[in-house]
C-alpha cells in the first residue's frame, strides 16, 4: 500500500495478461429495500478498498486496479445505493486531495467525487501513510530467529512506525473535516484494516517469512493503526467499521479457502498481502453490519 509498492507494481504488470483468468464475476445480490436504496454513495480509499485482481477492473485508470468485486461494489449491490468508487491502489491521504499518477493515467483527486448530494461515504485510508508496502518487503527475514524488523524500526530508541501512526492521526482528522465540508449531509464511515497476520501465535515461517518476534511486533503496529482510525472516527463525526474482528482466523497464515488475506505468494486471485474475493466479501459484510443492513437474504 505504499505509493508505489512492489506488490502494486507487480499487479499492474500482470493485470492485462491475466485479466481473463482473474476475472471473477461480481457476486450477485438482491438489493435490500430500505433507506439506502438509491442513495448517492462515494467510496474513497487505497488498495484495501480497491481490492486489486479480485475481479475485472471497474473504471479508469487501470493502474488503480479497482475491482468490481471490492467491498464498495458489493455494498452497493446489496443496498441499491448509487456508487461512485474512486478508490485507488497506492493511495495515501494526500491523494484524496490531489491527482494520483498510476499506470495508464491519473486518478483525479478523490475528494472531487463528493458533493452536496452525497449521502453515504466510506473512507479506507492510512496504511500507505505508514509505509505498508515498505514494511511488507523490509520485514522479510532469511532466518526464523530474532526480531530484525522490530530492531530496524526501533533503532536509536524511537519506534518509527509508532511515530508514523501518530502523524497519521492528524491527517485523518483533516480527511474527515474535508469530507464533511464537501458532503455535509452524508453519513461517513471510516473503515479499518483486517487481520492480516494471525491474531495469536508465532506466524507461519517460512510460508510467510516473518519471525515470531516480528509477527508480534507487526501485530501491535496494526492494532495501533486501527485504534488511531477508530479514535479519528469518534472525534470526527464518523462511524468506525471494525474489519479486524470478523477476519480473525482468516489471515495470511490460514489455509486456502479459509484465507481471506493472501500471502506474499497469492494462491487465489489477489495482490500479495491483500484481500482476495472472500476477503472483499468479508469487508462488505462488516460495512453492511455497521449500516444495519443484513449481509444476505
Q: Give catalytic residues, as residue numbers.
A: 47, 274
Q: Residue for cell digits 509505509?
A: 131
Report d(CA 186, CA 259) in Å as an integer. 34
Neighbours of 100 (CB within 10 A): 23
Pair 159, 90: CB distance under 8 Å: no
SS (H, E, C) 38-55: CCEEEEEECHHHHCCCCC
Pairing of strands 100-102, 105-107: antiparallel
Pairing of strands 187-191, 105-107: unpaired
Tell me if 237 sits within 8 A of 177, measured CB to CB.
Answer: no
Amino acid at each position: 500500500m505504499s505509493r508505489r509498492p512492489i506488490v502494486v507494481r507487480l499487479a499492474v504488470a500482470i493485470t492485462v495478461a491475466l485479466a481473463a483468468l482473474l476475472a471473477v464475476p461480481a457476486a450477485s445480490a438482491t438489493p435490500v429495500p430500505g433507506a439506502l436504496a438509491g442513495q448517492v454513495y462515494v467510496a474513497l480509499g487505497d488498495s484495501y478498498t480497491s481490492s486489486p485482481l479480485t475481479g475485472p477492473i471497474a473504471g479508469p485508470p487501470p493502474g488503480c486496479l479497482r475491482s468490481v468485486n471490492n467491498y464498495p461494489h458489493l455494498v452497493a449491490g446489496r443496498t441499491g445505493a448509487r456508487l461512485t468508487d474512486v478508490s485507488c491502489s497506492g493511495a495515501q491521504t494526500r491523494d484524496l486531495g490531489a491527482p494520483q499518477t498510476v499506470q495508464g493515467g491519473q486518478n483525479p483527486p478523490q475528494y472531487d467525487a463528493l458533493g452536496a448530494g452525497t449521502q453515504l461515504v466510506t473512507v479506507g485510508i492510512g496504511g500507505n501513510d505508514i509505509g505498508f508496502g515498505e514494511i511488507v518487503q523490509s520485514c522479510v527475514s532469511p532466518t526464523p530467529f530474532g526480531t530484525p524488523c522490530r530492531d530496524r524500526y526501533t533503532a536509536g530508541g524511537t519506534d518509527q512506525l509508532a511515530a508514523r501512526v501518530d502523524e497519521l492521526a492528524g491527517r485523518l482528522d483533516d480527511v474527515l473535516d474535508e469530507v464533511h465540508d464537501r458532503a455535509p449531509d452524508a453519513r461517513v464511515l471510516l473503515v479499518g484494516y483486517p487481520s492480516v497476520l494471525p491474531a495469536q501465535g508465532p506466524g507461519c515461517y517460512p510460508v510467510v517469512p516473518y519471525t515470531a518476534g516480528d509477527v508480534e511486533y507487526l501485530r501491535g503496529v496494526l492494532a495501533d493503526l486501527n485504534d488511531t482510525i477508530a479514535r479519528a472516527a469518534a472525534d470526527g463525526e464518523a462511524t468506525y467499521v471494525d474489519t479486524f474482528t470478523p477476519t480473525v482466523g482468516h489471515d495470511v497464515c490460514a489455509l486456502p479457502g479459509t484465507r481471506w488475506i493472501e500471502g506474499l505468494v497469492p494462491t487465489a486471485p489477489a495482490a500479495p498481502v491483500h484481500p482476495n474475493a472472500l476477503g472483499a466479501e468479508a469487508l462488505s459484510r462488516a460495512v453492511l453490519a455497521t449500516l444495519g443492513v443484513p449481509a444476505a437474504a
